[in-house]
Amino acid sequence: MTKTWWKEAVIYQIYPRSFKDSNGDGIGDLKGITQKLDYLALLGVDVLWLSPIFKSPNDDNGYDVSDYCSIMEEFGTMADFDELLATAHENGLKVILDLVVNHSSDEHEWFQASRQSGDNAYSDYYFWEKEKPNNWQSFFGGDAWEYDEQREAYFLHLFTKKQPDLNWENPKVREEVYRLMRFWYDKGVDGFRMDVIPLISKRLGFPDAPNDDFKNTIDNIYANGPRVHEFLKEMNEQANRPYDVMTVGEGIGVSKEQSLDYVGEDRSELNMLYHFDHLFLGYEGGDRLKSSGFTLVEVKQIFREWQEAIGDSGWLNVCLDNHDFARMVSRFGNDQKFRKESAKLLATLLLTQKGTPCIYQGSEIGMTNVAFPTIEDYDDVANLSTIDEWRAEGKDMEELLRRIQAGGRDNARTPVQWDNTPHAGFTTGQPWLKVNPNYAEINVANALADTDSIFHYYRKMLSFRKEHKTFIYGAYIEYLPNHPAVYFYERAAEDKHYLILLNFSDSTQTIFGVPDFSKAALLIGNYKIIENKKRLAPWEARVYLLEVDTI
Ligand code: TEU
Ligand code: CA
C-alpha cells in the first residue's frame, strides 16, 4: 500500500456560516476562520475542509452555487480567501474546498441562459423534458421535476428546485467543471471534498424509482450511474493529476461492494470517500426524521465490513458526523451524564480507525445537539417539505419538533461556542441560527483552561496518532464483535499490536476471552484511575501497546 500525506493527515471540517463571525452581521465568514487558524494549529489537525464558500443565494446554505469562481458575499472577498489560504499554509495547514457540481444554483448564469431556449449554448447544461419523465422525488421531499414557464419544460433537481442538476453528459459542462477546479488549484488549494459525486451520472432512460424506500432509490437509481467512473477518471486526468491534491468523495449511495470502484488505488478516480452506512443507520430510508435507533453491534459490523472491503487496495475517510447529521456525542455517545468521557471515547475511535479521520467543528469541545423550543427556531431547508406535509395532514407538530430536535441537520449548525460571552463569542450581532444554550459551560475558552478537557484529549490523541504510524498503515483486527457494549479492536504492524478498548455504555463492562494483554502498556486513556485491566468504566476508552512477535 502506498504511503502518502493525505493518508497521514487528519481533516477538520469547517461550516463557515457557523464557525466565527468577524464583522458582526451574525454570519460566520472567512476573516473569522483566519482569526482562528492558530487555534486549529494548536489542536493539531492538518487539513481544513471548508463547506462551500462560493457565491450563492443560500437556499441550501451554499450548496447552491451561483458562481464557482467568486466568494459568497456574506463570507467576504477573494482577498480574504487569499489571506486565509496563505495564513493556513504558514501554519502548516492545508485547505480543501467543497466541490458542488452535481447541481448549481438556479441563479447561476448557466441556468439563467439555459432556461431561455432550447437552442442556445447553455440549453443542454441541465436536464430539460417537455413532460415529467418519471416519479423521481427530491432528497428534500416533493417532485424532482419543476416546470419552468420560460423554457416551457421541466428541469431535474434532486435537491431543492433552486438546485438544478447539471448535465454531465454534456462535455461542455465537464470542461467548465475541470476549468473551475484548476482555477482553485492554481491558487494553491490542496484538494476538494466532492458533494454527492456518485450522483453525477444519470440513468438516461429515467426509469421510475421505487419510492417506497428512498434509500433504495438513492442507491439504485440516483447513485452509481453508468458513466460515473468514466467522468471521475476524466476529472482526474483533466483537473487533479497535475497537482498534489486530495480528493474526498461524499459517498452517498455507494456500497462497500462498490467502494473500490471509486477509491481503489489502481482506479485513478478519488483518493477516498466517506460512506453513509453508519450515518444513515437507524434512519428509515435515510430519513433522519424517521429514527428507529441502532445497536453498537450494528455500528461495529459496519466499520468492520468497510475495513474488510477496502483492505489495502483503497482508502476511507472516517467520520461520525458532519454538517448534515446530529452531533456525534449526542447520537453515538452520552451527551448528558458522560458527555466528557464519551466525547473522548469517540475521539479515540475516530483517531485509531484505519482511514483519514474527519473531525467536525465543535467536536473537539464536545458540542452537543440542540433542542430549540419551536420549529420556527430551525433553519434547515431539508425540513420544510416535511413541515408543510405534517401541517397539511394535521399531524402532531410536537412530534415533528421532537424528531427535528433529535435528528435535524441544524444540530450540527449552531454557532461554534468560543466563550461564555453573549452568543458564545461567535458574533457581536444576532446569530443567523441561535447558539446552543449550553455554551456557558461548553466553550473553547473553558476547554483551553481545563487540562483534562476534551480539547486537550484531542490534542494528545492527534499527536499520538502522528507518532504511531501503525494507526495509519497498520492492519485492523476486531475482537468480541458481538459484545453489546464494548468495541475492542487492534491495529497491528510488524511486532507492534495496539489494542483499543471502548466501552459504549453507561455501565461497567468486564471483558473475557480475548488475547492476553496483561503485559500490555497503557498508552492513552480517558480515565485517570484503572482498578482492573479487564473492567472498563462507563464510556472508558483505552489504548494499549503490546510488543510481542505474536499475539
Ligand atoms: O448532502 C448529500 C446528502 O444526501 C445528505 O447528506 C443530505 O444532506 C440529506 O440526506 C438530506 O436530507 C450533500 C451536502 O452535504 C448537503 O449539505 C447538501 O444539502 C446536499 O448534498 C445538496 O448539495
Ligand atoms: Ca460575518
Per-residue pLDDT tens over the stretch 11-21: 999 999 999 99
| Ranges of CATH 3.90.400.10 domains, the chain | 105-165
Ligand 2 centroid to 195 CA: how many Å? 24
Among 190, 250, 364, 410, the one annotated catalytic: 250
How far is 185 from 179, CA to CA, in rounded Å?
A: 10
Atom 17 in ligand 1: which residue has the minimum CA distance?
324
Domain 474-550 maps to which CATH number in 3.40.50.620, 2.60.40.1180, 3.30.1280.10, 3.30.70.660?
Answer: 2.60.40.1180
Q: Measured from the CB, is residue 254 less than 6 Å from ligand 1?
A: no
Looking at 190, 195, 219, 324, which residue is catalytic? 195
β-partners of residue 542 are 501, 525
Q: Please state the separation of Cα 417 from the chain's center in Å.
A: 20
> What CATH number was assigned to the domain covering residues 171-318?
3.20.20.80
**Range list for CATH 2.60.40.1180 in the chain:** 474-550
* Whole-prediction pTM: 0.98
| Residue 188 pLDDT greater than 70, yes or no | yes
Please report which ligand is nearest the Cα atom of 427. 2
**3-state secondary structure string across 77-88:** CHHHHHHHHHHH
Long-range contacts of 255-260 (CB under 8 A, 24+ apart): 255/219, 256/305, 256/306, 256/308, 256/309, 256/310, 257/309, 258/224, 259/306, 259/309, 259/310, 259/314, 259/316, 260/309, 260/310, 260/313, 260/314
Could you give the residue range(s) of every CATH 3.20.20.80 domain in the chain?
8-98+319-467, 171-318
Mutate to test the pocket of ligand 1, among 17, 104, 139, 194 (most ligand atoms within 8 A of CB): 139
Look at ligand 1, atom 8, and give the residue with the nearest C-alpha.
324
Q: What percent of the chain has pLDDT over 90?
A: 95
What's the 268 CA to ligand 1 centre distance in angstroms? 25
Give the pLDDT of residue 426: 99
Tell me the pLDDT tens digit for each residue of 339-365. 999 999 999 999 999 999 999 999 999
Ligand that comes closest to the CA of residue 76: 2
Q: Does residue 321 line the site of ligand 1, with CB under 6 A?
A: no
63 lines ligand 1 (CB under 6 A): yes
Pick the CATH number of 105-165 from 3.50.50.60, 3.40.50.11740, 3.90.400.10, 3.40.30.10: 3.90.400.10
Q: 8-98+319-467 architecture in CATH?
A: Alpha-Beta Barrel (3.20)
- Does 195 qualify as catalytic in the annotation? yes
- 430-466 CB burial, b ≥16 within 10 A, e <16: ebbbbbbebbeebbbebbeeeeebbbbbbbebbebbb
Which helix or strand (DSSP H or E) is residue 272 part of? strand 272-274
Q: Which single residue is written with the C-alpha cell 454527492?
A: 196
Residue 27 CA to ligand 2 center (angstroms) comes to 4
pLDDT digits (tens, 9 = 90+) for 126-155: 999 999 999 999 999 999 999 999 999 999
φ/ψ (deg, to 5) at 94: -90, 160
Q: What is the mean pLDDT of the segment spanning 422-449?
A: 98
Of ligand 1's listed atoms, the one at least distance from the Cα of 381 is 19
Q: What is the pLDDT of residues 397-408, one digit of tens each?
A: 999 999 999 999
In the predicted model, what is the mean pLDDT of the chain?
Answer: 97
Would the pLDDT of 338 be above 90?
Answer: yes
20 CA to centre of ligand 2 in angstroms: 8
Q: Clarify whether 73 is annotated catalytic.
A: no
User: What is the distance in A from the centroid of ligand 1 to the CA of 499?
Assistant: 35
Local structure of 60: helix, strand or coil: coil
482: pLDDT strictly greater than 60: yes
**196 pocket-lining for ligand 1 (C-beta < 6 Å):** yes
- b/e per residue 133-153 (b: at least 16 CB within 10 A): bbebbbbbbbebbbebeebeb
Q: For the residues 70-92, what does the mean pLDDT come to?
A: 98
